[in-house]
Structure 1
Amino acid sequence: MKNTAISVNDLHVSYYGNEAVKGVSLSIKSGDLVGIIGPNGAGKSTFLKAMLNLIPRDKGDVEVLGKSIKEVRKKIAYVPQRNDIDWDFPIRVLDAVLLGTFPNLKLFKRPTKKDKEWAMKCLERVGMEDFSKRQIGELSGGQQQRVFLARALAQKAELFFLDEPFVGVDVSSEETIVKILKELTDHGKTVIVVHHDLSKANDYFNQLILLNKELISFGEVSEVFQSDIIERAYKGQFAFMKEIGV
């Protein structure tokens, strides 16, 4: 029996008086690979950020591993959208990955040789060890996303949150990322991914959260991926859904 990794109760978020997330409640089990799907403007990224307490909530509670986000922050790794990152910042690839070790360092301590070796192992895992001395801004979109996944791996987290990790990446990088995410859940880690491509949802995830500001459906992929349920979320876009076999 899996333990509960994340519990969300009546979560509400608004921007300038417009409600972006309305009363979402759900529980995610440890070891699940969960996709957050829904149409553009459905509140997917907002929901993810609100769970992590990165943006203010109007109402609602979130528990992670039975505690508040603040109490377990070190056990959570977050990979933001690529357009939220300053790629002109002058930092080398290895140093960017090494930042993932910082949450576990003691106060005023610098990374050790062992930490640097671990960061390199994380780069090797994502196939980017040959780029360790490159500036982060010199990489392609797929390479940058691999580096930020390596940074998350370096943190040795229990839960991984990724916001649109496959946008602007090449096929090889996407396959590498998916493979690693599945390996993480095989080892009991919990992974939550904001995702936009429904055609791959069945291959990538074992659980889906379907949002359109409110929770439309949550559960096994086969349960959520029903034409009548998808239509409730995508409405006018349903003709497109039929083209991809929903």
Structure 2
Amino acid sequence: MTTAIAVNDLFVSYNGNEALRNVTFAVEEGNLVGIIGPNGAGKSTLLKVLLNLIKKDTGKVEILGKSIKEMKTKVAYVPQRSNIDWDFPITVMDTVLIGTYPNLGIFKRPKKEHKDWALECLKKVGMADFGNRQIGELSGGQQQRVFLARALAQKPEMYFLDEPFVGVDVTSEEKIISILKELRDSGKTVVVVHHDLSKASDYFNELILLNKELIEHGIVEKVFQPAVLNKAYTNQFSPILGTEVTS
């Protein structure tokens, strides 16, 4: 199998404060990977470093054997909803069309074929009837589905999503995870920052467990064990996996 992501000896800091230290792992193509860990563990930081949105202090990151700069058209990113300006005056269709831009070339505009493809992507996420709606008029779940459609429109080899299930309705969450599993099954690599441990074993086939350093990485059955999780979530869980201790 081909290595999709290779991270070696990664160190990251903000203003002298350590965010990630000594992180090393590799992910093979065709996996749906959840990045889990407590608040402040560096989950979103890791995702952004993989995409070169945050500079690393030291270490090496490769995407499909190359630098992210060389592979940027092969990678799609769905950011946290809280990082998006929902007041920006843009329609749902135009939002999805942006996903076609990386493959258009400089100064070229989308043609009918690109608009048809954008519509297909909207149909895929169940949002085809909202093409002319302003993006800010949608619910949280609808907005997230539109941004997934934008990622699909890019036709990438890899997908990176930062907390895609936060603030979305059940229908949208089910639709999104169904599509992500389909992408994995078709050979794509999908990496998701995720906080809800109760669904981790259902959603992913691999997990990366972080708490500023790599606690464990591997198949869900290997990582999703009380003894392993407690290394990151110290004293936060009872022996019944995923049950928070209130005292």
The bucket for the TM-score relative to the shorter chain is: over 0.9
In structure 1, the residue matched to 2:168 is 169
For the residue of structure 2 that corresponds to 1:236, the secondary structure is coil
Shift of 1:64: 0.6
Q: Which moves more between the two structures, 162-171 or 52-61?
A: 52-61
In structure 1, the residue matched to 2:122 is 123
Structure 1 residues 106 and 208: CA distance shift in structure 2, 3 A: same
Structure 1 residues 67 and 239: CA distance shift in structure 2, 3 A: same
Structure 1 residues 120 and 236: CA distance shift in structure 2, 3 A: same
Alignment of 1:74-223 (within 5 A): 74-223=73-222
Structure 1, residues 37-95: CA drift from partner, whole Å, max 9, x if none?
00001000001101111011111111111111000100000000000000000000000
For the residue of structure 2 that corresponds to 1:172, the secondary structure is helix
In structure 1, the residue matched to 2:27 is 28
Cα contact 2:197–2:242 (8 A) shared by 1 = no
Shift of 1:99: 0.1
CA distance in 1, matches of 2:207, 2:218: 6
CA distance in 1, matches of 2:45, 2:239: 24
Shift of 1:244: 3.4
Task: Name the TM-score, length of structure 2 as normaliser.
Answer: 0.97
Shift of 1:125: 0.1
Structure 1 residues 241 and 87: CA distance shift in structure 2, 3 A: farther
Greater helix share, structure number:
1
In structure 2, the residue matched to 1:58 is 57
Cα contact 2:31–2:190 (8 A) shared by 1 = yes
Cα contact 2:225–2:241 (8 A) shared by 1 = no
User: What percent of counterpart residues are identical?
Assistant: 68
Q: Give the AA of the match of 1:103.
A: P
Q: Give the AA of the match of 2:113.
A: K
For the residue of structure 2 that corresponds to 1:235, the secondary structure is coil
Q: Give the AA of the match of 1:6.
A: I
CA distance in 2, matches of 1:117, 1:222: 41
For the residue of structure 1 that corresponds to 2:176, the secondary structure is helix
Shift of 1:136: 0.2
Q: Give the AA of the match of 1:110.
A: R
Q: Give the AA of the match of 1:98.
A: L
Q: Which runs of 5+ in 1 are unaligned?
A: none
CA distance in 1, matches of 2:127, 2:108: 27
CA distance in 2, matches of 1:177, 1:89: 24
Shift of 1:195: 0.1
Task: Name the TM-score, length of structure 1 as normaliser.
Answer: 0.97
In structure 1, the residue matched to 2:38 is 39
In structure 2, the residue matched to 1:224 is 223
